[in-house]
Chain A
């Protein structure tokens, strides 16, 4: 009797989760339907699984180009964020003076500033710098990466700082006595110990940067520079919506996220938990 009760609970739980994710299923099945099928019954199974709407959506969204841009911006931004913020956090955590305290507090305080508060002056600044000095910050992927580093610095330093405070200093001291430079101590001794928090910092930043829309939409003007969220936005804006094409487009953008999720699931859930709790 009890076993049956447990079984029904298991089934209820999974049913609930399936209903929860049903919008994604609906998008998926409708991405194969022609216009007539789509209007007849949105919930029915498609008559055939043809990929013609996918090829059309790929072409219109310039999908592979947008995908490459997204990958490039995300990977390079995250590498720089990890290197620079771990170094900064280590110095701040290991030197007990008022300068470090002021810098750290300033970083934390800016986490309260919403993007909308600085977007206009930032754009003025960035276009001004590009125009007067010729440094290509505006309308380039490198410029976007540069801004990503600035925007995600505070959270990343904060996470590293908390972790570093919790590890003993003795190892570093031993390495210093052995004659290693600060650089050597950090990269050979400290950075390997930081691996768990590096995973968290990477996961959080990948999600934020991959899905970011507003900053790229303000700074990337040329069509060939578009990242995935931008190409989806313009895809929905430029044409009167042909839903079957749109669904194929949406499914395309979800696929990489699902793959990433399946591969790194354990780290993602752990990373999100730690990132939020700290």
Chain B
């Protein structure tokens, strides 16, 4: 009797959420795997043709997809470096004893809140008008021109804007890490004659490993999945030079109506993200030092 009552309460507390979760996340995920083995245009009246592994074989020869995969890797690697370098630098600056550090922290975090879509539009204007203006005035036209029109530079523009968005976010993670380092440890090293740079490399960096794990995880997965900024800043152009993974999948499914093939891409996308993030967490976890 008591046990039955217990089960009853368990169900009342958990079932509503788990039902919604199952319907919205789990069921579509499973159906998605099924769809990936069919050729289908998404129209209910048209037949779904089972074609085994054909979609996955076709992936390997799809030049636009492979290019998009390469661009995504390049984008992610560059972004992980720039976002974390900027975020860590910001964190070191705002944890110094300066009076205006709090105000600066507040300002540096701002872009993250605005949201990728709107940031992209803001920067579209900055590249279009402000960059060209600076180029005209300073004569540095080889650096300050509209990056968005240039096939090689458009991807850097994306890295640039993504860094602007995310640096303040990982800064918060690094701040938490830095504040967790006991002052005595740094002080002891200073007394032992370690220089500022040595203290940073030998003490701060190793003790920040947990913060690195989190920040790398966040930037890797956010970077790999980028879509909103991609859409509003470059729209994938010029000439598909910035069509990253997520956008390629969207276009394949909803643009060209290749539902089965596009879904196969989406499954591969999931496998890659899961593999990368799990490996990364595994590696950096091993490097963390115990206090």
B269 CB within 8 Å of chain A: yes
Q: Are A154 and B21 in contact (CB under 8 A)?
A: yes
- How far is B21's CA from A278's CA once the two chains are assembled, in angstroms? 21
- How far is B26's CA from A10's CA once the two chains are assembled, in angstroms? 51
Complex contacts, A258 vs chain B, CB 8 Å? 110
Known: A85-B17, A114-B225, A121-B35. A151 touches B24 (CB 8 A): yes
Q: Are B228 and A232 in contact (CB under 8 A)?
A: no
Q: Are A13 and B98 in contact (CB under 8 A)?
A: yes
Pick the contact of A272: B28, B118, B169 (CB < 8 A): B169
- How far is B239's CA from A207's CA once the two chains are assembled, in angstroms? 33
- How far is B24's CA from A124's CA once the two chains are assembled, in angstroms? 11
Using a CB-CB cutoff of 8 Å, which residues 63-117 of chain A contact chain B? Answer: 84-85, 87-88, 90-92, 95, 103, 106-107, 110, 112-117
A51 CB within 8 Å of chain B: no
B205 CB within 8 Å of chain A: no
- How far is B282's CA from A66's CA once the two chains are assembled, in angstroms? 43
A229 → chain B, closest Cβ, in Å? 5
Q: Are B176 and A277 in contact (CB under 8 A)?
A: yes
A21 CB within 8 Å of chain B: yes
Pick the contact of A210: B21, B26, B115, B231 (CB < 8 A): B115
Pick the contact of B270: A18, A84, A114, A254 (CB < 8 A): A114
Pick the contact of A90: B13, B227, B270, B277 (CB < 8 A): B13
Known: A116-B227, A213-B228, A243-B125. A153 touches B100 (CB 8 A): no
Q: Are B13 and A153 in contact (CB under 8 A)?
A: no
Could you mark each residue 215-229 of chain A with 1 if its beta carbon is under 8 Å from any beta carbon of chain B, else 0?
Answer: 000000000000001
A118 CB within 8 Å of chain B: yes
Complex contacts, A150 vs chain B, CB 8 Å? 20-21, 23-25
- How far is B27's CA from A250's CA once the two chains are assembled, in angstroms? 37
A168 CB within 8 Å of chain B: no
Complex contacts, B173 vs chain A, CB 8 Å? 273, 276-277
Q: Are B9 and A182 in contact (CB under 8 A)?
A: yes
Known: A118-B25, A272-B169. A23 touches B122 (CB 8 A): yes
User: Main secondary structure on chain B at its contact with chain A?
Assistant: helix
B85 CB within 8 Å of chain A: no
Complex contacts, A153 vs chain B, CB 8 Å? 17, 20-21, 25
Q: Are B266 and A211 in contact (CB under 8 A)?
A: no
Complex contacts, B73 vs chain A, CB 8 Å? none
User: Main secondary structure on chain A at its contact with chain B?
Assistant: helix
Complex contacts, B225 vs chain A, CB 8 Å? 114-116
Complex contacts, A236 vs chain B, CB 8 Å? 121, 232
- How far is B115's CA from A14's CA once the two chains are assembled, in angstroms? 23
A199 CB within 8 Å of chain B: no
Q: Are A182 and B117 in contact (CB under 8 A)?
A: no
Using a CB-CB cutoff of 8 Å, which residues 23-38 of chain B contact chain A? Answer: 23-29, 31-32, 35
Complex contacts, A92 vs chain B, CB 8 Å? 14
Pick the contact of A95: B10, B28, B277 (CB < 8 A): B10
A162 → chain B, closest Cβ, in Å? 14
Q: Are A120 and B35 in contact (CB under 8 A)?
A: yes
Q: Are A116 and B113 in contact (CB under 8 A)?
A: no
A195 CB within 8 Å of chain B: no
Q: Are B246 and A116 in contact (CB under 8 A)?
A: yes
Complex contacts, B148 vs chain A, CB 8 Å? none
Complex contacts, B133 vs chain A, CB 8 Å? 41-43
B250 CB within 8 Å of chain A: yes
Q: Are A253 and B118 in contact (CB under 8 A)?
A: yes
- How far is B228's CA from A233's CA once the two chains are assembled, in angstroms? 10
Could you mark each residue 44-70 of chain A with 1 if its beta carbon is under 8 Å from any beta carbon of chain B, else 0?
Answer: 000000000000000000000000000
Using a CB-CB cutoff of 8 Å, which residues 159-206 of chain B contact chain A? Answer: 164, 169, 172-173, 175-176
Binds A, one of B50-58, B59-67, B101-109: B101-109
Could you mark each residue 263-277 of chain B with 1 if its beta carbon is under 8 Å from any beta carbon of chain A, else 0?
Answer: 100110110011001
Residues of A within 8 A of B (CB): 6, 9-10, 13-14, 16-18, 20-21, 23-24, 26-27, 30, 38, 41-43, 84-85, 87-88, 90-92, 95, 103, 106-107, 110, 112-122, 124-125, 146-147, 149-151, 153-154, 157, 181-183, 186, 207, 210-211, 213-214, 229, 232-233, 236, 243, 246-247, 250, 253-254, 257-258, 260-261, 265, 268-269, 272-273, 276-277
| Subset of 21 A-B contacts with CB under 8 Å | A6-B98, A10-B98, A20-B164, A21-B110, A87-B17, A88-B13, A110-B29, A120-B32, A121-B27, A125-B28, A125-B31, A150-B20, A150-B25, A154-B25, A213-B227, A233-B232, A236-B232, A254-B114, A269-B105, A269-B172, A277-B214
